[in-house]
Chains A and B, each alone.
Chain A
Amino acid sequence: MQEFVHFLQHDVLARISPPLGALPDQIVLLGAILVGAAPIVAFMAVIAMAWTYGERRIAGFIQARYGPNRVGPEGVLQPLADGIKLLAKEDIAPAGADRPLYELAPLLVFVGALLPFVALPFSEKWVISSMAAGVFYVLAFEAIEVIGIIMAGWAPNSKWSLYGGMRLAAQMVAYEIPMGLCLLTVVALAGTLNLGQICQMQGGAFGVGNWMVWPWVSPFATLAFFMFFVGGLAATKRAPFDLPEAESELVAGFHTEYSGIRFAFFFMAEYAAMYVVCAVATVCFLGGWHGPFREWLAPAAGAPTISDLLGKAVQVKTADGAWFVWANLWGALSVLGKWAFWKPMLYELLGAFYLIAKSFFLLFVMVWMRWTLPRIRIDQVIYMCLKVLLPFSLLCVLGAAAQTVFTDWNLLHWLLSAGK
């Protein structure tokens, strides 16, 4: 950490302007954190906004009505209008609320939804932190959100909120275990907890044939995928598992007493969590960034990477060692004219496109289910998770373990090589 701060102070800030280099360590670190977090928050906000709009339009389509189509062309600015409305709303806390918990809960939920993005790859090289325990990290921080929601259920001193929080606590115990076991199936097959490596393995066969979800790769992963998706619906409190906020029973469940921006936090967190679950499912089961035609753009061995190109372009310094900003800017811009820059760029972009498109398809399925199915009852949720999903997910883990020990993580590969 200290090294990184020093690097920023001496090699980056001081070169731009000497007084900047003299900033205290804490300020530099805070700045670095804010600059680093901005893209994640922006991405999350965009995802949440796009899907609040998307969900309402899809719901409109399913329900034979229009949905929002007034603000902006085809209503695309509706989420913006909603956001402004929520910001402008009065922030009300009920009398008798536990104020510190009441105010902390939405933040905790929001942060819990935000943190998994750190380990989540967007494309092969586009990942904020390619951590070795990525799967574990994502699952762990998804669970933080639950604590926030239980707090939100308790704090406002409302019986309906309390019911929502209680239901979520019960529901979480039920779905977390099968969900984790389903991911463990993939981990057993892949032999790694790193999300990037799990995804990398599923390449080849025109970018579509080696996805974990295909039964010829591993029938256990196929089963695990569907169970993971069901668990994911429960984890993100989506219908038919939206019991914690069941409006026909609990008014609005845990967010009954929240208004304005605090409610917006819950709302954003829900959509962000949905994206996280879908992205994890995509990375672990649906081949992540792999897709047709992408391999044609694969860089040859030893080809310069984007950072190589940029590093070469940005080297102009003045005599006393300060960087010559304009010349470097020109150098950086000139890189844009080179195919050597665009080829790896397109390679990554196509990967990101495939990953996000697959995730969005899963999100669409979630929305589709929400507007089609009735809600199930709490005892049925727990019965299903503990008595149906749990044994089957255990079976998947055992099966996957046996498969990796006796054959190969990819049955098809093993069968093909056995034929030779």
Chain B
Amino acid sequence: MTAIERPLPRPELETEELLVNMGPQHPSTHGVLRLVIRTDGEMVRETWPHIGYLHRCFEKIAQEVTFPQVVPYTDRLDYLASMNNAHSYCMAVERLAGIKIPPRAEYLRVIFSELNRIASHLLAFGTYALDLGAFTPFLYGFRERELLLDIFEKVSGGRLLYHYPRIGGVARDITPEIAKDIEQFIRIFPQKWAEYNTLLSYNKIFIERTANVGVILPQTAIRYGLTGPCLRGSGVAYDIRKAHPYSVYDKVDFQIAVGQGEKGTVGDCWDRYWVRMVEMMESLKIVDQCLKGLPEGPVQAKVARVLRLPDGEAYTRAENPRGELGFYIVSDKKRTNAVRCRVRAPSFCNLSVTHEVAKDCLVADVVAIVGSIDIVLGEVDR
């Protein structure tokens, strides 16, 4: 019996996996993130995020300069949520120094933190649409963001980096004109929000692209330490503003937006996107309540000109647009600067889940997943 000769596979026709560098210069990595993806044709087998291209030694700087000098640096962490960053840092220093800030300042901090959350989510909404190939929502998002930036400019002088919350209060009081601008924004925003939903949220193609894509299970989300919309998108109702209220969040009424799996599975990209959309409206509610209940009084407590904190350590956390931003400060009473300053950056922790989620999907899905995690590289790399 003669052996049947099987045709050998032609070596020139063998397929092989391709290792592709997505970034650091790539349109949809939201800055200088580098994703190394192992692909088999259009299928992505594995994704490794590589970070560090935007490292600016924040923590080291925060240990070198005095406490009030750190505040403007915090603006540069998550540069889309400068108000929130400074808010969190000031809380840590105030806790260590035992400074009680005036109630009006607390209210103002919350108002601007929440307005900044809306501005940040508007950008997230716009860039997410860009990632999925829709151009127009981005400009619509910017149109409303512009109104917010005008308000921020009037109150702080800056349009991106505000340096508005200061240790012991806020930089300056709002004028009646700014209050009127905020009221105007509260009035017009809901209809614009409905417009976004018509344009993008309920668009059939958008739902097809995001529903059931990049599902993060609740236990995965908790395991990786996700916070913010990424965690809530997975159906875990954890919001620091509710769980550990700071500032005046215990005095205002708002809901936690949680992913319901409305269009697909709980924890998919659409859920994360939708949590952000709903949060914008919730933030608007908070701003409205704070503006109505804004107490009279000073906006700045008495703070020593040369601030020295007593020996000790403090960790404060705040709900940023991207999740829990924590500042851990160790102080020494002989020094005017921190012995140690450590930042727990939400984008950094949220990004870590990419490797787990972005595998065995299509190239286009990687973009959708990374976009839905909504990272800011300034905060990832610090």
| Interface positions of A (Cβ within 8 A of B) | 59, 62-65, 159-160, 163, 166-167, 239-240, 242-243, 246-251, 371-380
Q: Which residue of A lies closest to B25 (CB)?
A: A251
Main SS at interface, chain B: helix
A236 to B313, CA, bound (A): 62
B140 at the A interface (CB under 8 A): yes
- Bound Cα distance from A378 to B27, whole angstroms: 19
A239 to B132, CA, bound (A): 11
B28/A59 in contact, CB under 8 A: no
* Residue contact B203 to A373, C-beta cutoff 8 Å: yes
Q: Which of A163, A167, A374, A380 has the most CB of B within 10 A?
A: A374
CB of A374 within 8 A of CB of B27, answer no
Q: Tell me which residues across on chain A come within 8 A of B133, comparing CB atoms.
A: 239-240, 242, 246, 248, 373-375
Most buried by A among B18, B20, B27: B27
Q: Which of B18, B41, B200, B209 contacts A377 (CB 8 A)?
A: B209
Q: Do A376 and B205 touch (CB < 8 A)?
A: yes
Distance in angstroms between the alpha carbons of A379 and B365 in the assembled complex = 11
Pick from B18, B27, B203, B365: contact of A248, CB below 8 A. B27
| CB pair B28 A248 closer than 8 Å | yes
Q: How far is the CA of A62 from the CA of B195 in the complex (A)?
A: 13
Assess the A251–B203 pair: CB atoms within 8 A: no
Q: How far is the CA of A246 from the CA of B362 in the complex (A)?
A: 14
B209 proximity list for chain A (CB < 8 A): 374-377
CB-CB nearest in chain B for A383: B208
Number of residues on chain B facing chain A (CB within 8 A): 30
- The reply to whether A248 and B205 form a contact with Cβ atoms under 8 Å apart is no
Which B residues between 173 and 211 are near A, CB-CB below 8 angstroms? 199-200, 203, 205-206, 208-209
A415 to B82, CA, bound (A): 72
Whether a CB of chain A sits under 8 angstroms from the CB of B130 is: yes
Indicate whether A63 sits within 8 Å of B140 (C-beta atoms), given known contacts A248-B28, A374-B209.
Answer: yes
Contacting residue for A251 out of B27, B139, B199, B365, CB 8 A: B27
CB atoms of B131 and A248 under 8 A apart: yes
B97 sits at the interface (CB 8 A): no
Q: A251-B26, A379-B362 are in contact. Are A374 and B132 (CB under 8 A)?
A: yes
Q: Is B54 an interface residue (CB 8 A)?
A: no
- Which residues of the other chain, B, contact A64 by a CB distance below 8 angstroms? 139-140, 143
Kindly identify which residue among B28, B205, B362 contacts A378, using a CB–CB cutoff of 8 Å.
B362
B129 beta carbon closer than 8 Å to chain A: yes
B134 at the interface (CB under 8 A from A): yes
Residues of A within 8 A of B18 (CB): 159
Measured in the bound complex, the distance between the Cα atoms of B44 and A377 in whole Å is: 14
> Contact: A248 with B132, CB < 8 Å?
yes
Cα distance, A240 to B364, chains bound together (Å): 13
Tell me which residues across on chain B come within 8 A of A374, comparing CB atoms. Answer: 129, 132-134, 200, 203, 205-206, 209
CB distance from A374 to the nearest CB of B (A): 4
- Please list 30 pairs of residues, one from A and one from B, whose beta carbons are closer than 8 Å in the complex, sorted by A's number: A59-B135, A63-B135, A63-B140, A64-B139, A64-B143, A163-B42, A166-B41, A166-B42, A240-B133, A240-B205, A246-B364, A247-B27, A248-B27, A248-B28, A248-B130, A248-B132, A251-B26, A372-B134, A373-B134, A373-B205, A374-B133, A375-B132, A375-B133, A375-B209, A375-B364, A376-B208, A377-B362, A378-B42, A378-B364, A379-B362
